[in-house]
Amino acid sequence: MTVHATPRTVPTVGVEEEFLLVDRRTRLPAPLAPQVIAAAAGALGDQVQSEFLQVQVETCTRPALRLKELRDDLARLRAVLVAAAADADCLLVASGSPVLAGPGPALLTENPRYHRMAARYPGAVDGYGGALCGCHVHLGTVERGLALALGNRLRPWLPVVQALAVNSPFDAGRDTGFASWRAVRLARWPTVGPAPVLDEPGYEALADSLVARGTLLDRRMIYWFTRPSEHLPTLEVRVTDVNADLETVLLLAALLRGLAGVLLEEARAGLPLPDVPQDRMVAAHRRAARTGPAGAGIDPFTGSPVPTTTLVDRLLERAAPGLAAAGDLAAVEAGLDRLRRLGTGADRQRRHYHLRHRPTDVVDGLARLTATVPPPG
């Protein structure tokens, strides 16, 4: 691929991964996060954190300039958590939604804010089936106004990114027909969806209004697919399922960082934004959640059905100058070829199921792949 333009700066990239803990024997979600986090905290410090439910743990990488730095950090975080989970007699699983979910209420993490959220939005919690796990990519360093400008320009490209990341076809042991059931369940929470096009004054006014009206408990509950971080100088991209395959995570992070490098240049130059209606964005994301990269997606720029493979090619072409500037172009081209050969996380989950039609086999396959990480260094 020939690349003619190079962004002046390469954004940093960081990744948050949310994982499930499952019982080693039943493969049901296991509320052992306090024990696992305590065991891992000595090695990981504030890079391991609790999540909404006690069956979830979250890790956060440091900001990285090179993909190798990100790979090593992700591998180290996963290796420590896998060992801590084993000591607690459970498995670490990277899946956007639980493959199996037992009866009864879900145990919330002991955090007053989480209890207030559960009381206000009980329909969004709904047992351990609500233990939804995403992979959030932070792009920086950008001040809030520029973060919003970047989010406005990333918006039409996110359905195809979501399609590459699908990894949650099962719910309560059954195939939902969606490649990302997490995307469907997550929409029960307020504000989940494509971000509106906003400048900084518009963002501040809308965020304050959502809290004042009681739509949200606080500004941290702004769950748009892109949002400026409330505590970091980054744009947070929240659209993708967590993936057991580490190479898929790196592919997504590199693609988003490369695209961000190009779009930041255009934002700084004041180039006009594409006009993409919100209802078209919602439809494109819905199609991505159902089919992943198979078949036709919806082109957000035109609203027309287009083979998702064509949309992926367009994404790669658009991001290529930023990927080249970061030194990631060859790695991303190889990663996309690999994903086409091996399939998405949802494809792999379904292959495990169809071998013996046992949901427990799906959980075991996810646990093995989550634990298959290259050694740092």
Domain ranges of the chain: 12-371
Give the C-alpha separation, 208 to 148, whole Å: 16
The architecture (CATH level 2) of 12-371 comes to 2-Layer Sandwich (3.30)
Token pair listed for 240? 């993708």
Which pLDDT does position 8 carry in this prediction? Answer: 73
Torsion of CA 331, 366, 62, 262, to 10 degrees: 40
Query: Would you say residue 203 has pLDDT above 50?
Result: yes
Q: pLDDT for 350-361, tens place per residue?
A: 999 999 999 999
Name the DSSP class of 225. Answer: S
Facing residues of 237 across strands? 137, 226
Retrieve residue 360's tokens: 């427990």
Give the distance from CA 210 to its chain's centroid. Answer: 24
Q: Please report, as a single letter, which amino acid is at residue 70.
A: L
DSSP letter (8 states) at residue 64: B
Mean pLDDT of the chain: 95
The dihedrals phi and psi of 167, each to the nearest 5 degrees, come to: -155, 45
| Alpha carbons 276 and 132: distance in angstroms, whole number | 28
CA nearest to 282, candidates 194, 196, 161, 222: 194
Neighbours of 25 (CB within 10 A): 10
Amino acid identity at 110: E
pLDDT at 375 over 90: no
CB contact at 8 A, 59 and 78:
yes
Contact 195, 130 (CB under 8 A): no
Spatial separation of the C-alpha atoms in residues 236 and 229, rounded to whole Å: 6
Examine the pLDDT at 70 and tell me if it is beyond 80.
yes
Phi, psi of 113 (to 5 degrees): -65, -45
Query: What pLDDT was estimated at residue 207?
Result: 97
What confidence category does residue 9 fall into, taking pLDDT thresholds of 50, 70 and 90? confident
Residues 300-330: tens digit of each pLDDT: 999 999 999 999 999 999 999 999 999 999 9
- Please provide residue 237's backbone torsions phi and psi, each rounded to the nearest 5 degrees: -100, 120
Q: What is the pLDDT of residues 146-160, one digit of tens each?
A: 999 999 999 999 999
Burial degree of 231 (CB within 10 A; 0-12, 13-18, 19+):
exposed
Mean pLDDT of 80-103: 96
